[in-house]
Amino acid sequence: MDAERRKIYEVVVQNIAEALGLDEEEVHLEDTLIEDLGAESLDFLDIAFRLEQDLGIKIPRGDIQARAAESAGDEPFEVDGVLTAVGLARLREAMPEIPDERFKEGMTVREIPYLFTVETFFNLCVRLVGEKSAVTA
């Protein structure tokens, strides 16, 4: 891991730990935020805010889902809240850090946040920090 990624990793772990009232040793890359670390929807707002302040980035709300839906192009991403086969495939591509078996047929849009792991936030931050430096450069 290069220095930049190391720094982002530390910021992500520190902020997730603070937001969820945990010690940093209790936060691992593969932990899911909701089921493993006890996050609720409000905590996602909190974590996003903290990361934005510390990394100088802007995390659009619903970014992962929106990008996946966009990459589905003209094909429907969901029908009545249930992900289509195409939707599921795009979501999997958007979140390569999540084990395949977690993307279950019949999954609903509301269940997407249950997939998020610490690594999801790490990857998101790496990408957004990269895009920011690209703009500044």
Partner 1 sequence: MTPRRVAVTGMGLICPLGRDPEAVFRDMIAGRSGVSALDAFDTTGFEVKVAARVRDFDPGAALPGELGAFLERGLDRKTAFGLAAAGDALASAFGAAAPSSVPPARRGVHLATGLTSTEVPEAEQDFLAHLDGRGAYDPRSAGRAAARNDGLFAYRHMTDLCAALVARRAGAAGPVLTNHGACAAAAQAIGHAFHDLREGEIDLAVCGGFESMIHPFGVLSFALLGALSTTTDRPPEAVSRPFDRTRDGFVIGEGAAMFVLEPLDLALARGARPLAEIVGYGSSLDAFRVTAPAPHGAGAARAMRSALRDAGLPPEAVGYINAHGTATPLNDAHETEAIRAVFGGPGRAPPVSSTKSMIGHAVAAAGAVEGVAVVQALRHQVLPPTLNLRDPDPECDLDYVPLVGRPASFEYAVSNSFGFGGQNASLVFRRWEGPA
Partner 2 sequence: MRPSRADVVVTGIGLVTPLGTGREATLAGWREGRSAVAPIRAFDASGFPWTHGAEVADFEPRRHLADRKAIKLMSRNARLAVHAAGDALAQAGAGAVGAGEGEGCGLFAACGYEVPEMDDVVGMMAGSRAEDPAGDAPAPGEGRVPLSLRRLFESGRHRMNPIDALKVLPNMAMAHVAITHGIRGVNLSVGPWGGSALAAVGEGAKALLRGSCEAALVGGTDAQVNPFDVSYLGTRGLLSSTGACRPFDRGRDGTVPGEGAAFLLLEGRARAEARGARALARLAGWGSGAAPGDGPADFGAPGGPEGYGGAAERALHRAGWDPGDVDLWVADGWGTPRGDAAEEEAARALGLPASAERLFTKHRLGHCGGAAGALDAGLAVALSTGRGARILAWAGDPSGAAAAVCLEATP
Nearer to partner 2, 6 or 28 (CB): 28
- # residues near partner 2 by CB under 8 A: 14
80 contacts partner 1 (rule: CB under 8 A):
yes
Q: Which two tokens stand for residue 15?
A: 């902020």
Nearer to partner 1, 61 or 104 (CB): 61
How far is the C-alpha of 39 from the C-alpha of 20, rounded, in Å? 7
E-strand spans in 15-128?
78-79, 82-83
41 contacts partner 1 (rule: CB under 8 A):
yes
How far is the C-alpha of 14 from the C-alpha of 56, rounded, in Å? 16
Nearer to partner 2, 43 or 63 (CB): 43
Q: CB–CB of 95/115 below 8 Å?
A: yes
- Interface positions with partner 2 (CB under 8 A): 19-22, 38, 42-43, 45-46, 49-50, 52-53, 58
